[in-house]
């Protein structure tokens, strides 16, 4: 079964903004849905900036409990991060560390990334990005 990694941008549109396109997309995926504690950390920034903290936190945590897997950072991901970052620096195409960690997670675990920010991610040649 194919596995997909939901980036923070997709989770926000699906859960918080209720964007129909993202709701349909997430609900139509035929495969395992995953994300990471890195994305959860990014979502917590939004939680701490909203007035409805408890409600948003509960919504997000309920969503994460339904995912097939939530990845942390391990040795393989750390190693892949270093390889990707070194390659991007050599090519003069560095992206943010969080995006690089997300990409490393996807590559190590053979996940297809679903994101609204492909502009940076396409710089990582071995990363699979979901195309509609």
Q: How far is CA 90 from the centre of its chain?
A: 25
How far apart CA 22 and CA 29 sit, in angstroms, is: 11
The whole-number pLDDT of residue 108 equals 98
Q: What average pLDDT score do residues 95-104 get? A: 97
- Number of domains the chain contains: 1
Tell me the β-bridge partners of 96. Answer: none
Determine the Cα–Cα distance for residues 118 and 1; give it in Å rounded to an integer.
24
* CATH assignment of the domain containing 112: 3.40.50.1010
The contacts of residue 32 (CB under 8 Å, 6+ apart) are 1, 2, 3, 4, 68, 69
High-pLDDT (> 70) share of the chain, %: 99
Query: What are the pLDDT digits (tens) for 66-84?
Result: 999 999 999 999 999 999 9
Query: Are 46 and 56 contacting, i.e. CB atoms less than 8 angstroms apart?
Result: yes
Domain that holds residue 104: 3-129
CA 57 to chain centre: 18
Q: Is the pLDDT of residue 132 over 70?
A: no
């Amino acid at each position: 079964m194919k596995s997909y990694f939901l980036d923070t941008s997709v989770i926000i549109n699906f859960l918080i903004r209720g964007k129909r396109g993202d709701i349909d997309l997430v609900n139509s995926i035929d495969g395992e849905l995953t994300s990471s504690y890195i994305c959860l950390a990014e979502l917590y920034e939004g939680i701490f900036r909203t007035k409805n903290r408890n409600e948003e936190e509960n919504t997000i945590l309920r969503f994460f409990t339904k995912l097939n897997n939530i990845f942390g950072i391990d040795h393989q991901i750390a190693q892949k991060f270093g390889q990707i970052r070194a390659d991007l620096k050599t090519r003069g195409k560095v992206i943010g560390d969080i995006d690089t960690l997300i990409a490393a997670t996807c590559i190590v675990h053979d996940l297809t990334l679903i994101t609204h920010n492909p502009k940076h991610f396409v710089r990582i040649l071995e990363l699979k990005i979901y195309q509609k």
